[in-house]
Amino acid sequence: MSTGTIDTAERELIASGLKKLQAKQKLSAREAAAVKRFERGREEERRWSYYRTIPQKHWREMSGRQAKVLIEQAEAYGLPFGGAVVDLPALAKALHDFLAANKFKLARELTDEELIAGGGESTPGLERLRNATATLREMDVEERKKTHADLGDLHNVLMRFTSLLRRGGEILQRKFGGDAADIYNSAIDQAERELLRDIELAIRADSSSAGADQPALQTGIGTPALPDGPVGARQTPTNDPPVRRGRNRPADRPASR
């Protein structure tokens, strides 16, 4: 009961009961009940007064947030916060109005695209994901502009090209013998080694310039790394028939003229 809505009979019982308490006299049942109702109403009024004047320091301790963070949240979401005291009833109403207005958005999980676009609380891992995604998209744009080439595609083209050349070596071997085929195949091996070396150096240089925490900018999206092994080795199996390299002569040693 609010002290402002007490009727005359109730006031008389309260006054009589308080006077007896001061004189340390026994109260009647009606007086005791009236005094109890009066004390309860006065305590509730004080409580509401405290609710409307919570020191900001107390609110920071209860929320576990610094004032700067709380003020930024208040400005972003329209919450009544920022003065020396916090009006808890007003803050509670604003908070629940916000939840009601955004119930459908809050009921579902953010998609990867929304997280990358800036939704949700930022974390170091999420920032790395955003940076990597931005880099990949920039690479895609450059590749579409034809200023960058996918080195994996380039490597596959090279393998197909050398495969065709080696089939020509079979014809040379049948017509002119193993010495001619050796010279021809040695030239192909040398050219293949040089091209593969240039590709590998380009990958290493690009990786160094991109930094240790970001993907290289010119390796293409999803480009497979070159297989391990010596530069110049055949990297992909083919259906080519074996070519005889000559009479017990190492494959990569040019035949004497």
Q: Is 141 left (phi over 0), alpha (psi -120 to 50) or beta?
A: alpha
pLDDT tens string for the chain (257 positions)? 555 677 889 899 989 999 999 999 999 999 999 999 999 999 999 999 999 999 999 999 999 999 899 999 898 888 998 889 999 999 999 999 988 888 877 776 666 666 666 655 566 766 777 788 788 878 777 777 666 666 677 778 878 887 878 788 888 788 888 888 788 888 888 888 887 788 778 777 766 665 544 444 343 333 333 444 443 344 444 444 444 444 444 444 444 44
Range of the domain at 117: 112-144
Structure confidence at residue 135 (pLDDT)? 82
| Overall number of domains in the chain | 4
Give the helix ranges, DSSP H, for the chain: 8-22, 29-51, 56-63, 67-77, 88-101, 103-107, 112-117, 124-144, 151-176, 178-210
Residue 61 sits in the same domain as residue 98: yes
In angstroms, rounded to a whole number, what is the distance separating the alpha carbons of residues 227 and 224? Answer: 8
**Tokens 């390796």 map to which residue?**
219
Domain stops at, among 144, 167, 196:
144
In angstroms, rounded to a whole number, what is the distance separating the alpha carbons of residues 117 and 200? Answer: 35
Residue 123 sits in the same domain as residue 102: no
Structure confidence at residue 118 (pLDDT)? 61
Q: Is 243 left (phi over 0), alpha (psi -120 to 50) or beta?
A: beta
Structure confidence at residue 142 (pLDDT)? 73
Residue 225 sits in the same domain as residue 244: yes
Domain stops at, among 144, 162, 189:
144
In angstroms, rounded to a whole number, what is the distance separating the alpha carbons of residues 86 and 77? Answer: 16
pTM: 0.38
Structure confidence at residue 38 (pLDDT)? 92
Structure confidence at residue 32 (pLDDT)? 92
* DSSP letters spanning 126-171: HHHHHHHHHHHHHHHHHHHTTSS--HHHHHHHHHHHHHHHHHHHHH
Helix (H, G, I), strand (E, B) or coil at 86: strand
DSSP one-letter code for 248: S
Residue 159 sits in the same domain as residue 192: yes
Structure confidence at residue 101 (pLDDT)? 87
In angstroms, rounded to a whole number, what is the distance separating the alpha carbons of residues 86 and 59? Answer: 7
